[in-house]
Each structure stands twice: as C-alpha cells, then as structure tokens.
Amino acid sequence: MKKNFSVAIAGGGSTYTPDMLEMLCLVREDFPLRKVVLYDIDADRQEHIGKFGEILFREYYPEAEFSYTTDPQKAFEDIDFVLVQIRAGGLKMRELDEKIPLKYGVIGQETCGPGGFAYGMRSVPAMIELVKTIRRYSPEAWILNYSNPAAIVAEATKRVFPDDYRLINICDMPISIMDIFCPLAGGRKRTDVEPRYYGLNHFGWFTHMYDKKTGEDVLPEMLEKLKTGDCDRELGYSGKNDDYWNFTFRHLEKMVQDFPHSLPNTYMQYYLYPDTMVKHSDPNYTRANTVIDGRERRVKEYCDGVASLNQIRGTQYDLDLKYSRGSHLDADGSFASATVAHNDAHATYIVELAMSIAYNQNDIFLIITENKGIVPNLSEGMMLEVACRVGINGAEPLRIQEAGAFEKGLLEGQYAYEKLTVDAALEGSYQKALMALTVSRTVGDAELARTLLDEYIAANGEYFPKLV
Ligand code: G6P
Ligand code: MN
C-alpha cells in the first residue's frame, strides 16, 4: 500500500504551474497524493491558476484535495514536497534586469551577466525567507527548487542552511537539451542515456552520455552531427519552439564547431559570444516582453477559459491525460502533455525527482550540489551542477574527471562573481556588489560595473537588500 503524499507549489501563480498540476494528475497512480496546495504572495495572479486547478482536480483527480492560498501556514503545514518556482520582483523586474545593461551594449539576460546579478540580489533574501517559512511548518519537507538564478540561490542556501540535505536546487535546461538532442544518437530518447555533466548552473558541459543498456558513450556521435550544423533537419525542433529558442539551439551547433570536445549548456552562448548575443537582442523588446506577451497571456487565457466554462472534459480545453502505469521512467518527456506552457521538461523533471525521493529509486538527476572533491581541481565549496543519485537520503554526487584548463578558467571566474554576489546580498555590501559585477566577464570594466550597479539599486528599491 503506497503512502499518499502531499505537495505544495510555491510560486503557484507561475506560468509553469498548470503543467505541473497536469503532470501530477498524469502520475496519480504511481505517485498518489492526498493533497496539493498552491502558494503565492500575489493573490490575484494565483487566482487564475487556482480556479483552473480546482476544476482540473475535481474532474481528473477527485481523490486529492486541492486548494490555493496566500497563507503560509495553510500552504506548508503537513507537506511532504514543496516544489518552488518563485520569481522575486516578477516579470516586470525581469524586464528591467534585461534592459538596463543592453543600454550599455552589455548582455541583458534573465540569469546571465548583470541581469542575473540583479535577479540574484532579489532572489537571495526571498528564497531564504521562504525556506525559513516552510521549515517552520514542515521541518522535514523536501524543498525542490527551480527558482533562479539557481547558481546564486544555491550558493546562498548552502551558506544559510548548510546541513539541510532536503533542500535541492535544480534546473531544467540540461534536460531540455537532452530531450531535443539525444535523438541524434541513433534516435535515442533522453531516458535511454545517463548524462555526465559538470559546471555551475547555466554554465556547464556534458562530457558523456552513456547508453543505459550497453554503457556506450553516445556523446561523440551527437557531437559529430552537431558539427555539421544541420541538426534541425533531423530533429525538427524549429517546429516546436519560438524564435529565441530556435536561435539558441542553432547556436549550440556553432559552439560545438568551435569547441568540439564537449556539449555546452546553451547559456554558454552569453559568455563565449557576448557580441553576437548583444547584437541579437532588441534593447526595447527583450525576452521578458516576449514572455509577458506570449506565455503569460496564453496561460492566463487558457485558465480563464476553463474557469468561464467551469469544465475541462468535453470542451476545447480537454486534456489528453494519457498515461500508462509504470511508464514514467521510460518517458521521453512528451507524455507530460505540457498543454499550456509548452515546456515539457520543467514539470516532468521535478515530479520525476520527487518520485525518486519518495520511493528511494536512486535514479540519476543533475543537481546543484557542493563540490567536496567531485571535480578535484575546482574550488572546494563551488556549487556544481553534476549527476547525482537521488533517493530518500538526498543527492549523492558521482565523482567525475578533472576540469580542463578552458573550463576551469571560465568556471573559477564565474564562481568568484557568484560568491561575491551572495556576499553582497547577505552582508549588504556595496563594495562586494561592485566587485561581483566587475569580475563578471560580461562586464569586465569597473566604471561600467558601477554605473550598472547604481542603476539597478535605483530601479530595485525595496527588492534589494540595503547596500552600504
Ligand atoms: C530554461 C532555464 C530556466 C529559465 C527558462 C527561461 O528553462 O532552465 O532557468 O528560466 O529557460 O525561459 P523563458 O521562456 O522564460 O525565457
Ligand atoms: Mn535553469
């Protein structure tokens, strides 16, 4: 007899929440739940998703109790898993994070470069407060965290909650890369291979992809195809993604042509080709605008549409929740219908992780965890994103080979930036913030760093810790 678990989603108003709810419905036989609660500090934003969730659970999952709330006690009492996806400052602040540096010809991106710094300064205090709140009501809950910038959030949570092995920071980007590009290796799916990968979050490389059955490393085969620069013909990803992601996935081919020994995370494009990326950006209409006008509007319309009919089954919003018992471990992600936000990996990955913990499956996941000899020639304490076995006792990292000179040089510089950013946020230090932005290879000039810092402080007001 399986235990029935309880799940809270923090950041319930997120555009990703509907797909997560759908995913929980899909796995209801293998991961039975007794309750699901959404929590958000923005009641209005969450209301749209909450109304949709009520109808979804009424029709597809009546055994589980569903609710949404802005009261942390109601949200986090008696909870086994908290799935966290908060965005401190919302998409409005993301827009400023991106637009301020672009005025100066510097990378303007959600998590990379100065934008990631500003987001980090908001996220660190917000995440620390949230974790403390969750711990007050459910000291033993598993906190599975997607909140960005994950590298900086992970560095901060390591320092503030050093022994809390039930707090796990993750990212869906490597998984998305695998979903899209693994078919280059003889038509394999993501779940046919076990990755080896290392780096900081949004700053790392796949070094191997081992076929689960034969142990063969299929990454060289993938890299050979990527080098030809014509993968969309075989993979057809351009039919499934928007222009930004299509550009990004094509750019991955360019990165492999220039540095063919490993498969980089797509976000390496911001560090290796900043000029290209700035030229490709529109300083007046950034990714935040695309998301606000696209995914956010679409999700809201979908949820409101369901609410106005007060019904899903048999309507235009009908969900194809086909799922065969026991199939989740073999799924390629597409079985998570991801009807609304169209991000297959996001919901699938976090729910698979919760299940691996719940049933002590010890499956392999890429987790952001502290370097204690995992990569021996990188700084101890660095928050590495690496392959870990994950079960009831937390994440056990697999040791991997030494970092090459190219990667080590890039990683140590980036880690200095991340550490200084966390210092600045925790100590309220203007000096540390100035050093953080100066050391970031996307800025690289102290005068420019000061200009950006002062603009960010003015734009962020109370969202930032006070910097003196
Ligand atoms: C990937 C990354 C996330 C990031 C997201 C941005 O999923 O792993 O960390 O937030 O992309 O996507 P968006 O569509 O919001 O630009
Ligand atoms: Mn990510």
The pLDDT tens digits of the residues spanning 52-107 come to 999 999 999 999 999 999 999 999 999 999 999 999 999 999 999 999 999 999 99
Cα–Cα dist 376/388, whole Å: 16
Residue 3 is predicted with a pLDDT of 82
- In this predicted structure, what is the pLDDT of residue 26? 87
| Residue 50, pLDDT above cutoff 80 | yes
Active-site residue (options: 68, 197, 267, 271): 267
How far, in Å, from the CA of 128 to the mean position of ligand 2? 19
pLDDT value for 321: 67
Distance 14 CA to ligand 1 centre (A): 12
Catalytic, out of 19, 40, 80, 172: 172
Q: Is the CB of residue 387 less than 8 Å from the CB of residue 365? A: yes
Each as own residue / partner, the long-range contacts of residues 135-138 (CB below 8 Å, 24 or more positions apart, any chain) are: 135/164, 136/72, 136/76, 137/72, 137/73, 137/75, 137/76, 137/77, 137/78, 137/79, 138/76, 138/77, 138/78, 138/79, 138/80, 138/82
Which ligand 1 atom sits nearest the alpha carbon of residue 242?
14
- The pLDDT value given to residue 324: 42
Going by the annotation, the residues of the binding site for Mn(2+) are: 171, 202
pLDDT in tens, 324-354: 433 333 333 333 344 555 556 889 899 999 9
From 111, 146, 340, give the residue whose CB has the most ligand 1 atoms within 8 Å, as the site to mutate. 111
The response to whether residue 167 sits with its C-beta less than 6 Å from ligand 1 reads no
Query: Is 455's pLDDT higher than 60?
Result: yes
Nearest Cα residue to atom 1 of ligand 1: 173
Q: Judge if the beta carbon of residue 148 lies within 6 A of ligand 1.
A: yes
Least distant ligand from the CA of 109: 1
Residue pointed to by tokens 């005025």 = 103
What's the whole-number mean pLDDT along residues 418-439? 98
Report the pLDDT value the prediction gives residue 132, as an integer from 0 to 100: 98
CA of 203 to the centre of ligand 1 (A): 14
Q: What per-residue confidence (pLDDT) applies to 319?
A: 75
| Binding site feature residues for substrate | 94, 148, 287
Find the radius of gyration of the CA atoms of the chain. Answer: 21
Phi and psi for 183 in degrees, rounded to 5? -55, -20
341 touches ligand 1 (CB under 6 Å): no
pLDDT at 318: 81
ipTM of model over 0.85: yes
What would the pLDDT profile of 279-336 be if each residue is shown by its tens digit?
999 999 999 999 999 999 999 999 999 999 999 988 988 876 654 433 333 333 333 3
Reply yes or no on whether the pLDDT at 468 is more than 80.
yes
In residues, how long is the chain? 468
Band of residue 429 on the pLDDT scale cut at 50, 70, 90:
very high
Distances (CA, A) of 206 to 193, 196, 198, 332: 12, 6, 7, 19
185, pLDDT greater than 70: yes
Confidence tier at 400 by pLDDT (50, 70, 90): confident
Q: Are 155 and 181 in contact (CB under 8 A)?
A: no
Specify the ligand 1 atom closest to the Cα of 148.
Answer: 9
The pLDDT > 90 percentage for the chain reads 87
Q: How confident is the prediction for the chain on average, in pLDDT?
A: 94
How confident is the model at residue 342, as a pLDDT? Answer: 52
List Cβ neighbours of 402 (8 Å cut-off, separation of 6 or more). Answer: 375, 376, 377
172 lines ligand 1 (CB under 6 A): yes
Q: Measured from the CA of 345, which atom of ligand 1 is nearest?
A: 7
Q: Cα–Cα distance between 63 and 57 in angstroms, integer?
A: 8
* pLDDT score recorded for residue 239: 83
**pLDDT over 80 at 134, yes or no:** yes
> Quick check: is 146 catalytic?
no
